[in-house]
Structure 1
């Protein structure tokens, strides 16, 4: 499953040079991942409240190809591209006017907080099916 998260760059997203300050790409990837999970399976807030599951980041990366500016309209195309027993990888492609401006990914753990201490647990089959990705070893 692929999800598209739309963003309009705000003035506060830019630095003194007038371009988007790089940490915002990571913030937008986080938002896009939450939107993806919500669209494919259930909202992250419900996942935590009803199933005691959180999705902490283990790794993240972003490669910037061209700058973004105030009031640019950006689409973040996100999809799960890899799923292992307890972790999954989300790919994010940032596009402005159909042109790729940045690409990145996040690796997240399917983590239970039921015991009070976070512990990675196996990703349920229903989640695999929702994302359309089969687990690898």
Structure 2
């Protein structure tokens, strides 16, 4: 099971040549990460409001295979690629009309923002949901 985030490229996402400006892929990976947590039952907004928990970005990468343009319909498939004690790696695959147009990932920490931000162990009840995603990727 992979989380899917759907969107359509907006005019403001493109540059003067009419091609998506590359930082937008990182914005969409961030949005897809939050959609992933919503899908597994733990929306980021609820985690932050109730527990002061966030998932700050530590590293990001994206490889671009084909350009996107205004009004393209895109699906981002997101899945957990690595899961550690306090850190995880989430992979994002951008698909347009059945073709992979970009692939990227984000390495994120599980962090408390109650006071000074500090990485914490990912709770077991959330780890179980995330691990099911790792097993789905391996299977």
TM-score, normalised via structure 2 length = 0.92
Per the alignment, residue 14 of structure 1 pairs with 14
Higher helix share: 2
Per the alignment, residue 117 of structure 2 pairs with 118
Structure 1 residue 24: Cα displacement: 0.4
Unaligned runs of 5+ in 1: none
> Deviations for 1:11-47, whole angstroms, at most 9, x for unmatched residues?
1110001100000000000000000011113110110
Residue-pair matches, total:
133
Structure 1 residue 51: Cα displacement: 1.3
Per the alignment, residue 85 of structure 1 pairs with 85
Q: SS at 1:61's partner residue?
A: strand
> Deviations for 1:83-125, whole angstroms, at most 9, x for unmatched residues?
10000000000000010000000000000122x1000010111
User: Quick one: distance in 1 between partners of 2:72 and 2:81?
Assistant: 27
User: Quick one: distance in 1 between partners of 2:36 and 2:90?
Assistant: 9
Structure 1 residue 130: Cα displacement: 1.1
Runs of 4+ in structure 1 displaced over 3 angstroms?
none
TM-score, normalised via structure 1 length = 0.94
Structure 1 residue 129: Cα displacement: 1.1
User: Quick one: distance in 2 between partners of 1:2 and 1:51?
Assistant: 26
RMSD: 1.1
